[in-house]
């Protein structure tokens, strides 16, 4: 075995000494770790393999460290060919905000390595399964040119096989489905009505996807879908057990609020309305997360007690969570995924919704599906521009509906036009839209640095009447309750609510965390700017007006990852009768339960929080702001993709601004679609 390894290693046409010995390779990984280019976990994994199998070649150790690194960047596996074609950019090295230093990059190490030689070294290693991996137990699995950690290879296989089984066994629909659709969609002027089509498709499947951009009516559609499913069940005296979930607390809170408003307006009997839940939980809470563990209380051996599960903001679901959801789902239950396929994927490894919706734009409905849809929904799909498909290779597409009409961004919306140009990777059209001045709701500004007066004008909202942070600070001071307002006076709640709503009108969105143009640098600069103007006194950790973002769920406080609060000085009741009331600093959060109201929390009781004058685009998913500003870094970066730009643009409801310091960065981002490397393809499974 060892001799074979040495022969294969010798076949590597290499130009880097680090591939000559395991010791030299580990030293390189130590250098990458010191530079912040690798995680400690990545380096430790390579070291662990060498301890378990001392004969492991440097080429295999390097691949092991890189596949672990890829997981940290959202990739399910390491694509060997893609890595060799562009090693540094494919691996996001060096990381954001870092300048090059005197340390060999992957491109130097892999300069002479061929795909065949690298695969050969992996195939010969006893820490890699490449033949019949389902029968092995090695920590690494090689499938073609993709290298996996075994656990993620198992997750991917489980998701593919489970969904394929669900898709192969559609459900029977009631004969009165057309009449029920007519009642739910009476008065619709759309033709075809994609919401109606989506409900029809979902009614017949154990697994369905409803995707669409902002304002296309995803929540409206799913509420009507639940009414469609629940009405006959209630009439039969056996109401369906329906659960609603979302990947994050913020997304769950927003869906709770939205559904709560819509259920009461459904044209169905009160008993049906009462049987449609309005409370949305996080996926972790739904599955029963076990402390200090990756496991959940609900799994294949203890499935969830439900008949229908709807998961909103499905673009944020990672591969491992998807596998856990499917494992805990009873075989007879329905699963409906709801989300925007074009948004950023999850922070964790995998882009499940994006992978599953590869062909959603094209439709790829079989003739049988088209005929059935036209018969049941009463909608003609002729002239819709959909590409034909067949059930043998497009099984998933028969249960995927894409909502195509935006009620928020019409033909007169610059935000909508810009988002569509970015989605097409058309950088020229996107730049032209920003510069032409045809639309009053999109803006662009280039600043040499953040000391430019234009940045202060943008932040304060003193430029062109666009909302800025001056609005919430003005509200904070001008509407503060008077000295005679007692602690129990509702005016404190009303004031806090007004301040929070004013703050939510404007948000700076950054592509990266580090550097002058990242979240950390922007947050500090804005705090300093507002302090110099006398609008804040940010001379200590907690100060009135400080906006904070919750970064960890706290169910005891009812606060979720992504919630935003503002520190305010309010009147507190006296501890003892006869004593005077006092003033205290509390952090005000909206309740996000659809009923309004504010909760005040002691700063010391809060879970992990960070100042949020600026947030990453990732953190903004599920949120909406009247004026959203995308701040681009000074140089091209692997995190800059058209999905990131699209997500930032679509956070804006009325105005979007692009802030950049160097030419070409925006264009490069728009022309770079994200590629989350994975093997998740149900089309392949169908063959």
The whole-number pLDDT of residue 153 equals: 92
Residues 479 and 590 in one domain: yes
Instruction: Look at residue 206 and tell me if it is in a domain.
Output: yes
- pLDDT tens sequence across 266-278: 888 888 888 888 8
Give me the pLDDT at residue 243, please.
93
Whether residues 497 and 615 fall in one domain: yes
Say whether both 66 and 141 belong to one domain: yes
Note the pTM of the prediction, 2 decimals. 0.78
% pLDDT > 90, the chain: 23
Residue 619 counted as an annotated binding residue:
no
Residue with tokens 């939205």: 258
Domain boundary among 374, 402, 430: 402
At 326, the pLDDT band (50, 70, 90 cuts) reads very high
Q: Note the pLDDT of residue 405.
A: 78
Do both 397 and 538 map to the same domain?
no
pLDDT of the residue at 30:
92
| Cβ pair 345, 674 in contact under 8 A | yes
Q: Are 530 and 470 in contact (CB under 8 A)?
A: no
pLDDT of residue 37: 84
Consult the annotation and say whether 596 binds a ligand. no
- Compute the distance between CA of residue 648 and CA of residue 217 in angstroms, rounded to an integer: 19
Token readout for 381 is: 């799909």
142 pLDDT higher than 90: yes
SS3 281: strand
User: Are 195 and 295 in the same domain?
Assistant: yes
47 is in an annotated binding site: no
Q: Are residues 424 and 444 in the same domain?
A: yes
pLDDT value of position 2: 42
Query: Same domain for 181 and 270?
Result: yes
Contact 558, 591 (CB under 8 A): yes
- What is the residue-wise DSSP string for 451-503? TSHHHHHHHHT-STT---THHHHHHHHHTPPPTT--TT-THHHHHHHHHHHHH
Is 446 strand, coil or helix?
strand
**29-50 average pLDDT score:** 90
Say if residue 42's pLDDT is above 60: yes
| Closest to 127 in 3D by CA, of 41, 37, 65 | 65
| Model pLDDT, residue 5 | 41
Lowest mean pLDDT among 255-269, 307-321, 343-357: 343-357
The CATH number for 15's domain is 1.10.10.1020
Tokens at 40, concatenated: 């400690």
> How many domains are there within the chain?
3
pLDDT for 102: 72
Band of the pLDDT at 110, cuts 50, 70, 90?
confident
Is residue 685 situated within a structural domain? no
Q: Are residues 348 and 436 in the same domain?
A: no
Q: Quick check: is 85 in a domain? A: yes
Is the distance from CB of 203 to CB of 177 less than 8 angstroms? yes
- Predicted confidence band at 554 (pLDDT cuts at 50, 70, 90)? confident
Does one domain contain both 398 and 454? no
What's 625's DSSP letter?
E
Give pLDDT, residue 168: 87
CATH number of the domain residue 336 falls in: 3.40.50.300
Rounded-to-integer distance, Cα 90 and Cα 109, Å: 14
CB count in 10 Å sphere of residue 621 = 25
pLDDT of residue 210: 93
pLDDT, tens digit (0-9, with 9 covering 90-100), for 592-630: 655 567 888 888 888 788 889 999 988 887 778 899 999
Distance CA 216, CA 419 (A): 14
Residue 687 Cα distances to 156, 164, 170, 524, angstroms = 17, 11, 18, 54
Tokens standing for 200?
């029809």
Give the model confidence (pLDDT) of 425-457 as tens digits. 999 999 989 888 788 888 888 888 888 888 888
State the average pLDDT over residues 135-155: 91
Determine the pLDDT at residue 6: 40
> How many angstroms separate the CA atoms of 77 and 54, rounded?
24
Please give the pLDDT value at position 141.
93
pLDDT at 72 over 70: yes
pLDDT score of 682: 62
Backbone angles phi, psi at 440, to 5 degrees: -85, -5
d(CA 451, CA 164): 55
What is the rounded CA–CA span in Å between residue 561 and residue 294? 18
369 carries a ligand binding annotation:
no
Are residues 570 and 641 part of one domain? yes
Share of the chain above pLDDT 70, in %: 90
Asked whether the predicted pLDDT for residue 96 surpasses 60, the reply is no
pLDDT score recorded for residue 225: 92
Query: Residue 685: what pLDDT?
Result: 45
Q: What is the mean pLDDT of residues 329-334?
A: 92
219 annotated to bind ligand: yes
CA–CA dist 149, 156 (Å, integer): 11
Q: Please tell me whether 56 is known to bind a ligand.
A: no
Q: Reduced to 3 states, what is the DSSP secondary structure of residue 555? A: coil
Q: According to DSSP H, which parts of 73-207 are helical?
A: 80-85, 87-90, 106-109, 115-124, 150-168, 177-184, 194-203
User: 414: how many CB neighbours lie within 10 A of its CB?
Assistant: 22
List Cβ neighbours of 675 (8 Å cut-off, separation of 6 or more): 82
657-678 pLDDT per residue, tens = 999 888 888 998 898 887 766 6
The pLDDT mean for the chain works out to 84
Residue 333, helix vs strand vs coil: coil
Q: How far apart are CA 1 and CA 607, in angstroms?
A: 52
Most confident of the ranges 390-394, 512-516, 646-650: 646-650
Burial class (CB in 10 A: 0-12, 13-18, 19+), 134: exposed
pLDDT in tens, 163-195: 988 988 888 888 888 888 888 888 777 778 889
| Residue 216 annotated as binding site | yes
Q: How confident is the model at residue 147 (pLDDT cuts 50, 70, 90)?
A: very high
* pLDDT score of 11: 37
Residue 406 reports pLDDT greater than 50: yes
Q: pLDDT at residue 365 above 50?
A: yes
d(CA 602, CA 582): 14
Domain boundary among 134, 159, 184: 159
Establish whether 214 is an annotated binding residue: yes
The domain of 467 spans 414-671
pLDDT at residue 79 tops 50: yes
Is residue 126 located within the same domain as residue 203? no
- Per the domain annotation, does 677 fall within a domain? no
Q: How many Å separate Cα 363 from the centre of its chain?
A: 23
Evaluate if residue 9 carries a pLDDT over 50: no
User: What's the confidence (pLDDT) of residue 239?
Assistant: 92
The number of angstroms, rounded, from the C-alpha of 418 to the middle of its chain's C-alpha atoms is 20
Cα–Cα distance for residue pair 17/36, rounded to 1 Å? 22
Q: What is the pLDDT of residue 44?
A: 94
Q: Is residue 143 part of a domain?
A: yes
195: in domain: yes
Give the list of residues 6+ apart from residue 539 with CB closer than 8 angstroms, or none: 531
The answer to whether residue 84 sits within a structural domain is yes
Asked if residue 281 belongs to a domain, the reply is yes
> Which of residues 402, 422, 443 is at a domain's end?
402
End-to-end CA distance of the chain: 36
Same domain, 23 and 68: yes
**Omega of the bond prior to 94 within 30 degrees of 0, cis?**
yes
d(CA 264, CA 258): 11
């Amino acid at each position: 075995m060892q001799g074979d390894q040495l022969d294969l290693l010798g076949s590597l046409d290499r130009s880097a000494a680090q591939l000559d010995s395991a010791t030299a390779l580990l030293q390189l990984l130590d250098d990458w770790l010191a530079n912040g280019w690798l995680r400690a976990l990545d380096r430790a994994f390579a070291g662990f393999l060498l301890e378990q199998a001392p004969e492991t070649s440097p080429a295999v150790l390097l691949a092991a460290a890189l596949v672990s690194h890829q997981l940290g960047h959202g990739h399910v596996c390491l694509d060997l060919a893609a890595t060799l074609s562009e090693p540094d950019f494919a691996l996001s090295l060096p990381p954001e905000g870092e300048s090059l230093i005197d340390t060999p990059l992957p491109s130097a190490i892999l300069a002479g390595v061929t795909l065949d030689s690298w695969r050969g070294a992996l195939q010969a290693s006893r820490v890699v399964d490449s033949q019949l991996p389902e029968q092995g137990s090695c920590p690494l699995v090689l499938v073609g040119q993709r290298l996996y950690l075994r656990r993620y290879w198992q997750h991917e296989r489980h998701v593919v096989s489970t969904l394929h089984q669900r898709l192969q066994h559609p459900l029977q629909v009631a004969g009165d489905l057309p009449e029920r659709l007519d009642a739910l969609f009476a008065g619709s002027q759309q033709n075809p009505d994609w919401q109606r089509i989506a409900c029809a498709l979902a009614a017949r499947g154990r697994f369905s996807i409803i995707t669409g951009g902002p304002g296309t009516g995803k929540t409206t559609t799913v509420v009507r879908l639940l009414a469609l499913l629940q009405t006959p069940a209630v009439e039969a005296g056996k109401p369906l057990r329906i659960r609603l979930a979302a990947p994050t607390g913020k997304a769950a809170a927003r869906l709770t609020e939205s559904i709560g408003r819509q259920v009461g307006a459904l044209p169905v009997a009160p008993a049906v309305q009462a049987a449609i839940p309005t409370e949305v939980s996080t996926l972790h809470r739904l599955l029963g997360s076990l402390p200090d563990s990756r496991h959940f209380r609900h799994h294949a051996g203890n499935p969830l007690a439900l008949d229908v599960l709807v998961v909103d903001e499905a673009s944020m679901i990672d591969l491992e969570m998807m596998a856990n959801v499917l494992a805990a789902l009873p075989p007879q239950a329905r699963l409906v995924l709801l989300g925007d396929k074009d948004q950023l994927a999850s922070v964790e490894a995998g882009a499940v919704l994006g992978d599953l919706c590869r062909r959603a734009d094209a439709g790829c409905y079989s003739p049988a599906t088209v005929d059935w849809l036209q018969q049941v929904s009463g909608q003609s799909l002729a002239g819709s521009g959909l590409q034909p498909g067949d059930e043998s290779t497009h099984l998933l597409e028969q249960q995927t509906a894409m909502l195509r009409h935006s009620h928020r961004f019409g033909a007169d919306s610059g935000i909508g036009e810009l988002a569509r140009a970015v989605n097409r990777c058309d950088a020229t059209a996107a730049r032209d839209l920003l510069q032409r001045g045809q639309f009053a709701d999109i803006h662009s500004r280039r600043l040499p640095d953040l000391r430019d007066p234009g940045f202060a004008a943008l932040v304060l909202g003193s430029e062109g009447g666009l909302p800025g942070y001056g609005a919430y600070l003005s509200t904070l001071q001008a509407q503060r309750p008077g000295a005679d307002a007692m602690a129990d006076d509702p005016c404190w709640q009303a004031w806090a609510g007004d301040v929070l709503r004013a703050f939510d009108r404007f948000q700076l969105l950054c592509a990266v965390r580090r550097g002058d143009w990242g979240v950390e640098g922007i947050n500090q600069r804005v705090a300093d700017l507002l302090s110099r103007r006398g609008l804040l006194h940010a001379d200590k950790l907690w100060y009135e007006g400080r906006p904070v973002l919750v970064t960890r769920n706290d169910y005891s406080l009812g606060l979720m990852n992504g919630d935003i609060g503002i520190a305010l000085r309010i009147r507190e009741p006296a501890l003892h009768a006869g004593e005077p009331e006092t003033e205290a600093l509390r952090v005000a959060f909206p309740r996000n339960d659809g009923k309004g109201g504010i909760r005040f929390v002691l700063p010391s009781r809060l879970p992990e929080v960070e100042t949020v004058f600026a947030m990453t685009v990732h953190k903004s998913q599920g949120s909406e702001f009247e004026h959203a500003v995308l701040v681009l870094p000074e140089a091209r970066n692997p995190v800059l993709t058209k999905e990131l730009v699209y997500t930032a643009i679509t956070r804006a409801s009325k105005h979007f601004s692009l802030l950049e310091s160097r030419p070409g960065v925006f264009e490069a981002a728009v022309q770079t679609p994200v590629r989350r490397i994975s093997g998740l393809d149900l089309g392949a499974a169908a063959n």
